[in-house]
Amino acid sequence: MIESRPGEPSRVFSGHVGDTCPASELKPHDYLLAAGRFDSEGSWAFCRFDSLKVPAVRFGFEQGGFNLGSEDRAVDPDFLQLHLEVVTNEGALLWLPSGRYPASQVNSDPHRMDLRLAQRGREIFRIQGWPEMQWHFRSEEGEVEVDLRFTLDTATVLPDCILPQCLFAMWAATGRAEGNVRTGNQTEAVKGLVFYDHPRVLSGPNPVLPRKIYLYTTMFFADGSRILGYHAVDEQNQPTPYYCFGVYIDPTLHGHFLPNARTTGLQLDEDNIPERWDLSWRSEEVLLEAQIAVRDWGLKRAWGSPTSPKNRREFIIFPLVLEGQAMISERGWTRKQVGLGLAEYFNQEYWPA
């Protein structure tokens, strides 16, 4: 299996890898579910708000099982992977009912963005519209509920990642997010930015080393610029080819793919979860250097399945609420920016704990 590399036409999506276009120009066959074409496909949103009570939400679903590692650990493809994660100032509320709802219960309109899942007459989630989107997710018993509007501005085709058991392809969109988040009987109006990604997976063996870790970083700044990027290494601690990169979207919403990316100073806390790291990303046009810190909100509750974590250490992809600062140099001038973000970290060594 051959991956799509930076500058090359994507084998999965329209356009070239590394290119950023207005989200409104993304073709329907790129953002609609392509029934039968892929072994797995999903929709995931990372939202970071300026709210002190609800600083972040990460939620979405995946249809079809796939294997991120080298051993036989693929999830059951007949059931959804489904997360609704709300970070509050009292700790994270993680509703994780993966493996509970049959994938066949998702209703998908083949001609427009309209995805929905209901259980016993109650809506669990609904995703509608493009590039103006409405996302409504609700835990089955109603403890947490998220109702957000996304106005997507940009979409970037990311490099493919070749793993021992599959090819992982993805595009990522950015835009504004606003709406309401309810926890119990408390509702908070929120506003911020969303990083929305759409992965597509093709299964099949590949002669590559297993991936040991990945770190997915998203952040936005006061001037309207945004960054997202991956840092991935294999089990020999060598960078995964083409999957250490950054994307810088400037205040005019012009995208810059930064293939020369280094992540250094990664420090883990007592739960083996990152607490800080540094980025240095560059291209011929842009140099970006950032120092990033994680705010530990702790885990308040996790539920939804028998395997739901009892503590923060047991959930290795715990949502990482970020604060940081960056020095951005482009077109002969340099400026300092303070930003907010949300990240995801995975370490095969600690999986499945």
Q: Is 341 inside any structural domain?
A: yes
Looking at the structure of the chain, the number of domains it has is 1
Amino acid 146: pLDDT = 98
Amino acid 72: pLDDT = 58
DSSP 104-151: GG-EE-SSSSEEEEEETTEEEEEEE-SSEEEEEEE-TTSSEEEEEEEE
Q: Is 52 inside any structural domain?
A: yes
Question: Could you tell me whether strands 56-63 and 81-88 are parallel, antiparallel, or unpaired per DSSP bridges?
Answer: antiparallel
What is the CATH number for 158? 2.40.370.10
Listed in sequence order, the residues at least 6 apart from 118 whose beta carbon sits closer than 8 Å to its beta carbon are 105, 124
Q: Is 4 inside any structural domain?
A: no
Amino acid 349: pLDDT = 83
Amino acid 253: pLDDT = 97
pLDDT tens over the chain, length 353 residues: 678 999 999 999 999 999 999 999 999 999 999 978 999 999 999 999 999 999 999 999 999 877 766 565 667 888 999 999 999 999 999 999 999 999 999 999 999 999 999 998 899 999 999 999 999 999 999 999 999 999 999 999 999 999 998 899 999 999 999 999 999 999 999 999 999 999 999 988 899 999 999 999 999 999 999 999 999 999 999 999 899 999 999 999 999 999 999 999 999 999 999 999 999 999 999 999 999 999 988 999 999 999 899 999 999 899 999 999 999 999 889 999 999 999 999 998 876 54
Q: Which domain holds residue 189?
A: 20-350
Q: Is 107 inside any structural domain?
A: yes
Amino acid 353: pLDDT = 47
Report the C-alpha gap between 52 and 192 in whole angstroms.
12
Q: Is 5 inside any structural domain?
A: no
Q: Is 259 inside any structural domain?
A: yes
Amino acid 32: pLDDT = 96
Q: Which amino acid is at 120?
A: R
Report the C-alpha gap between 110 and 24 in whole angstroms.
18
Strand partners for 330 = 286, 333
Amino acid 332: pLDDT = 85
For residue 38, give the nearest of 208, 167, 126 by alpha carbon: 167
pLDDT digits (tens, 9 = 90+) for 75-95: 788 899 999 999 999 999 999
Strand partners for 174 = 154, 195
The number of helix segments (H) and strand segments (E) in the chain equals 1, 23
Question: What radius of gyration, in Å, describes the C-alpha atoms of the chain?
Answer: 19
Amino acid 264: pLDDT = 97
Q: Is 325 inside any structural domain?
A: yes
Q: Is 182 inside any structural domain?
A: yes
Which residue intervals of the chain are DSSP H helices? 28-31
Residues in the chain: 353
Whether residue 92 contacts residue 298, with contact meaning beta carbons closer than 8 Å, is answered with yes
